[in-house]
Amino acid sequence: MERKVFKIAARPLLPTITAEHFLKRRVAAYARVSTSSEEQLVSFEAQKDYYEKYIHAHPNWEFAGLYVDEGISGVSCKNRAGFNSMIKDALDGSFDLIITKSISRFARNTVDTLTTIRMLKEKGIEVYFEKEHIFTFDSKGELMLTILSSIAQEESRSISENVKWGCRKRMADGNYSLPYKYFLGYKKGDDNKPTIVEDEAKIIRRIYRLFLEGRTPSNIAAILKAESVLSPAGKPTWQVATVISILTNEKYYGVALLQKTYTEDFMTKKWRKNNGELPQYYIESDHEPIVSKEVFDEVQRRLSLPTKENPSHNTFANKLFCGDCGGKYGRKIVGSYRDNKKYRHAVWKCNRRYDHAEKCQTPYLYEEVITHAFNKAVLWQLRNNPSLVELCCKLVLSSIRAAKSVSKAERKQMIVDYISEFLDASPNEVAFSTTAWRVIIERADIIRDRQIILQFIDGSKYVYTIPPYSNIRRKQLLK
């Protein structure tokens, strides 16, 4: 018997009517502008008005809110508060549909786009991209999303490369911009160059001076906070990193080094220090300096030195070294008797005196002796360095105002005569300056032959012989 196959036509079915057909869909809209420029903010207001009207125009749609991000890039979702808040509310069941202008407005990162869409899809939340006319519940939606989001990502890459090229071209031409709102000491001048703000420049000069006096960046930050000096961001608290950035910024001595950092990846926006991967541009005599190059160079030299152990704010700390073991001298209080305090005094000894098989033979020092040695060294420098005398004359001449009847030459001769008398003074008659000690003395080595070798920052040295101690008052020995 022959086998036959008959086709039975399908019977058309009427659509199943469910409660969902009578329920309104809760719809939220998302808008984003990538910059905070005036034109983009106008665009943002237009988008906001448009979506409110667009959602209300559909009878089966119920407006569930508008989520926005202003001045935020779409390459990453990390810092987009509006976007992240929308996704959280969607997963919590606050709405059923998200409307956005285009894929590039939603995200310019292919991975982020697909991951977010799939996560929403699992929770029954659909996304509609108006420009591309794509509903994510459509069977072809994910394929189209993959293709179009990849195009959006490449578009973002192209924009990033164009921006980089423009920035580097401006650098090559010697043009740059500063974040003046957070840059202490300068404001934008009429010629688009940095112009000094004197009130802020005083803070910058003081930071450099405090560091040269031996203060650490953390101590400087504490001093500024205690004195209620506002930071570059206008905050009462100073961060140590802020102080260090001021001490290492070359723009404070009138030059500009461009492209010190660069963006490694346009998607992660991660910054890296430029160690030669890209060309840099150095502009000399670019603007008026706040500190001199000599001061800046000395600060950089000191910053490059090894970190000081047990930093102290005492004037003589971290400057005195043992000639036997190389250890630092520390301050000790001796003669502190319970019944009689008049013998209490401070001396300086090697901190590692007993750390070796043979005890260090270097002598201990009274603070008056250290002061006397410094004053003698300063007088020796002035007497043996005519250029310093000339410098002193210039500094004093520029700061005093004499009667108009006295000529400049006569004033200068008066100053020379005064300095000559000063050089004939004894070390005890010279007022000790803690600032001068901190700035111009690099180190002082104490050797067992009862000598102090004072080394100045210019490399010159002065040898001071420590007087013998006895029951006679120490100050009498220092005449």
pLDDT at 111: 66
Tokens at 74, concatenated: 């779409």
pLDDT at 238: 92
The model's pLDDT over 110-163, given as tens digits with 9 standing for 90+, comes to 667 777 888 888 888 888 888 878 888 876 666 666 676 666 666 666 666 766
What domains can be seen in the chain, in order of their start residue?
Answer: 21-157 (3.40.50.1390), 180-303 (3.90.1750.20), 320-477 (no CATH)
Note if the pTM is more than 0.75: no
pLDDT at 205: 92
The model's pLDDT over 8-32, given as tens digits with 9 standing for 90+, comes to 777 665 545 444 444 678 889 888 7
pLDDT (tens, 9 = 90+) of the chain, 479 residues, equals 677 787 777 766 554 544 444 467 888 988 877 655 455 555 667 777 788 888 888 888 888 888 888 766 545 566 688 888 898 898 888 888 999 888 777 776 666 777 788 888 888 888 888 887 888 887 666 666 667 666 666 666 666 676 666 676 776 676 777 778 888 988 888 888 888 999 999 999 999 988 887 788 888 999 999 999 999 888 999 999 999 999 998 889 888 887 777 676 655 566 677 777 777 777 788 888 999 988 899 888 888 876 554 455 678 888 899 999 999 998 888 776 655 666 677 889 998 888 888 889 999 898 888 988 988 888 888 777 777 667 666 666 665 655 555 676 776 677 766 666 666 667 776 777 777 788 788 899 999 999 999 998 888 899 999 888 754 445 555 55
pLDDT at 392: 67
pLDDT at 208: 92
The model's pLDDT over 374-422, given as tens digits with 9 standing for 90+, comes to 888 888 887 777 776 676 666 666 656 555 556 767 766 777 666 666 6
Going by C-alpha positions, the residue among 445, 470, 471, 469 that lies closest to residue 350 is 445
